[in-house]
């Protein structure tokens, strides 16, 4: 018999910032803010360490379901990089592929059970493919070609379509994920490689725009039609633009201009409001990716450190230690469901490469060396498995069993416990149980927070989970006092409970 609890008010579901449990692109999601619904490792406990193709440097790992994929640069002359696919739970190699003679296969996304990869030949006319992750076979090869750039990756519409930078006049393309055809194309001017970055929030696609000799600004496009909506004011800085941007869970855009300021911008529906600015310490790495906390605060590099900012005022709340002893850093940040950060420092001096685990106030919990990681960041996937890779012949995963019950004591039924503490300020923990058999993935599980007006506040979990007992922490520091509801959905069952935030 199903336990179904029904809201006494109408629930309006928002899709502005739903975050899955997979690592589908650089930055983890289409806002590129590093947020994950999984709780990552609390110690540097190696879950598996398995051989893979030898590579001169590490590339970003992408995760979907029970598989992880990356590119390995096996030769510099001629430049060659096959794909490798590993089982996420065991680390075992599943297959390796290259789809062209001396092809340089750069992964640009892993979503809806398709790996998206381009043959990066540094000519601005890169072929791209959709690959079956089960066997490495080609599902389709697009008739269109892509722009240059080793560091950009695709982002995804809710239906799975890709947004990518195309060649020539098709400098923005929405690609039908089922066949590789264009849904629409749009022309924009960008100054150089690195400025291809795009982010999606709700129904709006955001991009850099501007040439080497014209002002750089953020452009907003209608994601369904490609129509331009509006531009930000000019953001002063150098002629080029290589540093990407990110969007926080509340829609704030965080963009660092090369040679300029960090800007916090808010889309008001007809343009952009500038919330605050900050002068970061230079030099700044061009392959960085920012991170956002559950309370909407933001983590952004400055010099060799990560700084923690109040998203409303720009006040600096915390600072990390220096993440490298020399050179500069290109950090990529992953933020677990419990607020811990996982940072690949992307050190410009390859031997200084490291992965750090930091607390939400940026105190170092643990770190491990990882040389040649300047194109690679930590990827956090199902059941808190954190995968990293650098140069050499191995790919490594870390995991500790935080918040998950032993497989020897699986729960008998579906249940949601009352949050604790309650009332709370600002954090509370929510426990729930998913029934089933050992190592058998469940149906999709969703845990969503709503306010008293039935507005979706935050999606804590939206993914398949293995049977077990789970605990998720919600940090409500960015929200006002009042009654909130948390709803758990699993296999057609719904349970709703309420909680009280008192500040």
pLDDT of 89-117, one tens digit each? Answer: 999 999 999 998 889 999 999 998 999 99
Nearest to 89 by CA among 113, 65, 55, 70: 65
Quick one: 181 exposed, middle or buried, by C-beta within 10 A (0-12, 13-18, 19+)? Answer: middle
- Cα–Cα distance measured from residue 503 to residue 491, given in angstroms and rounded to the nearest whole number: 36
**Taking all residues of the chain, what is their mean pLDDT, rounded to a whole number?**
88
pLDDT band at 409 (very low <50, low <70, confident <90, very high): low
Q: Which residues make beta-bridge pairs with 442?
A: none
What's the rounded mean pLDDT across residues 7-25? Answer: 50
Let me know whether 328 and 459 are in one domain: no
For residue 440, the model assigns a pLDDT of 52
Q: How far apart are CA 457 and CA 250, in angstroms?
A: 9
- Please compute the mean of the pLDDT values over residues 142-151 and round it to a whole number: 83
What is residue 383's DSSP assignment?
G
290 and 155 within one domain? yes
DSSP string, 75-91: EETTEEB-EEEEETTT-
In angstroms, the CA 123 to CA 300 distance is 32
For residue 404, count other CB atoms closer than 10 A to its CB: 18
Query: Looking at the structure, do residues 280 and 219 belong to the same domain, yes or no?
Result: yes
> What is the token pair recorded at 315?
């006040």
485/439 same-domain check? yes
Among left, alpha and beta (phi > 0; psi -120 to 50; other), residue 20 is beta
* HSE value, Cβ hemisphere, 13 Å, CA-based, for 118: 28
| Rounded CA separation 236/33 (Å) | 23
- Please identify, among 343, 372, 401, the residue that sits at the C-terminal boundary of a domain: 372
117 and 227 in a single domain? The answer is: yes
Query: What CATH number does residue 449 fall under?
Result: 2.60.40.1930
Residues 428 and 352 in one domain: no
Q: Both 363 and 449 in a single domain?
A: no
Give the per-residue pLDDT at 465. 77
Q: Chain-centre distance of CA 354, in angstroms?
A: 19
Provide the pLDDT confidence category of residue 284 given band limits of 50, 70 and 90: confident
Which value, to the nearest 10 degrees, does the dihedral of the CA atoms of residues 269, 273, 278, 279 take? 90
8 Å CB contact between 308 and 317: yes
Please tell me the distance from the alpha carbon of residue 403 to that of residue 380, in angstroms, as a whole number. 15
The CATH number given to whatever domain includes residue 160 is: 2.130.10.10
Same domain, 329 and 478: no
Q: Look at residues 324, 349, 372 and tell me which one is the last residue of a structural domain.
A: 372
The verdict on 280 and 350 lying in the same domain is yes
Asked if residue 475 belongs to a domain, the reply is: yes
Residues sharing a CB contact under 8 Å with residue 24, sequence separation 6 or more, in sequence order: 62, 63, 64, 109, 110, 111, 156
Instruction: Choose one of 346, 372, 398: the last residue of a domain.
Output: 372
Q: How far is CA 100 from CA 56, 67, 306, in A?
A: 20, 23, 40
Query: How sure is the predictor about 449, in pLDDT bands with cuts at 50, 70 and 90?
Result: very high
What residues make up the domain containing 229? Answer: 112-127+139-372
| Helix, coil or strand: residue 294 | coil
SS3 state at 473? strand
Q: What angle do CA 397, 402, 405 make, to 5 degrees?
A: 110
> Which pLDDT does position 462 carry in this prediction?
81
Let me know whether 332 and 454 are in one domain. no
Please indicate, yes or no, whether residues 346 and 479 belong to a single structural domain of this protein. Answer: no
Q: What is the pLDDT, as a whole number, of residue 169?
A: 83
274 located within any domain: yes
For the cut 80, the answer to whether the pLDDT of residue 121 exceeds it is: no
Does residue 455 fall inside a structural domain? yes
Structural domains of the chain, count? 2
DSSP string across 404-430? ---GGG--SS-EEPPPBSSSBSSEEEE
The answer to whether residue 84 sits within a structural domain is: no
Let me know whether 177 and 272 are in one domain. yes
- For 213-223, what is the mean pLDDT? 95
Report whether pLDDT(43) > 70: yes
């Amino acid at each position: 018999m199903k336990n179904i609890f029904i809201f006494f008010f109408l629930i309006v579901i928002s899709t502005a910032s739903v975050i899955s449990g997979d690592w589908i692109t650089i930055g983890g999601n289409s806002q590129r803010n590093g947020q994950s619904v999984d709780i990552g490792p609390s110690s540097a406990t190696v879950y598996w360490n398995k051989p893979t193709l030898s590579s001169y440097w590490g590339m970003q790992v992408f995760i979907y379901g029970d598989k992880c994929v990356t590119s390995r640069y096996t030769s510099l002359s001629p430049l060659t990089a096959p794909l490798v696919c590993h089982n996420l739970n065991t680390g075992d190699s599943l297959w390796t592929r290259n789809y062209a003679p001396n092809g340089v296969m750069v992964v640009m996304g892993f979503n809806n059970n398709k790996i998206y990869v381009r043959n990066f030949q540094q000519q601005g006319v890169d072929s791209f493919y959709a690959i079956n992750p089960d066997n490495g076979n080609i599902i389709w090869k697009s008739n269109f070609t892509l722009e240059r750039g080793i560091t950009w990756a695709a982002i995804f519409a809710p239906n799975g379509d890709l947004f990518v930078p195309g060649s020539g006049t098709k400098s923005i393309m929405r690609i039908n994920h089922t066949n590789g055809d264009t849904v629409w194309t749009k022309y924009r001017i960008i100054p150089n490689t690195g400025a291809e970055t795009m982010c999606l929030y709700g129904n709006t696609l955001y991009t850099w725009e501007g040439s080497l000799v014209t002002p750089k600004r953020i452009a907003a496009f209608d994601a369904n039609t490609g129509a331009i909506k509006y531009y930000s004011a000019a953001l002063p800085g150098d002629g080029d633009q290589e540093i990407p941007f990110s969007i926080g869970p509340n829609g704030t855009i965080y963009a660092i201009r090369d040679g300029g300021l960090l800007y916090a911008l808010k889309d008001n529906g007809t343009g952009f409001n500038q919330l605050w600015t900050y002068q970061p310490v230079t030099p700044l790495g061009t392959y960085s990716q920012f991170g956002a906390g559950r309370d909407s605060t933001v983590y952004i590099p400055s010099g060799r450190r990560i700084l923690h900012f109040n998203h409303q005022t720009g006040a600096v709340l915390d600072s990390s230690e220096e993440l490298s002893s020399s050179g500069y850093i290109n950090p990529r940040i992953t933020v677990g469901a419990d607020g811990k950060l996982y940072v690949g420092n992307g050190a410009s001096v390859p031997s200084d490469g490291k992965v750090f685990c930091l607390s939400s106030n940026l105190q170092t919990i643990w770190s491990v060396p990882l040389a040649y990681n300047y194109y690679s960041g930590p990827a956090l996937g199902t059941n808190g498995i954190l995968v990293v890779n650098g140069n050499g012949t191995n790919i490594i995963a870390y995991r500790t069993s935080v918040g998950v019950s032993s497989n020897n004591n699986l729960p008998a039924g579906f249940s949601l416990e009352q949050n604790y503490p309650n009332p709370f300020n600002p954090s509370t923990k929510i426990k729930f149980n998913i029934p089933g058999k050992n190592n058998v993935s469940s149906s999709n599980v969703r845990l969503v927070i709503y306010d008293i007006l039935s507005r979706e506040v935050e999606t804590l979990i939206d993914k398949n989970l293995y049977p077990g007992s789970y605990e998720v922490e919600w940090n409500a520091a960015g929200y006002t006092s009042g009654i909130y509801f948390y709803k758990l959905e699993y296999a057609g069952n719904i349970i709703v409970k309420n909680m009280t935030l008192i500040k």
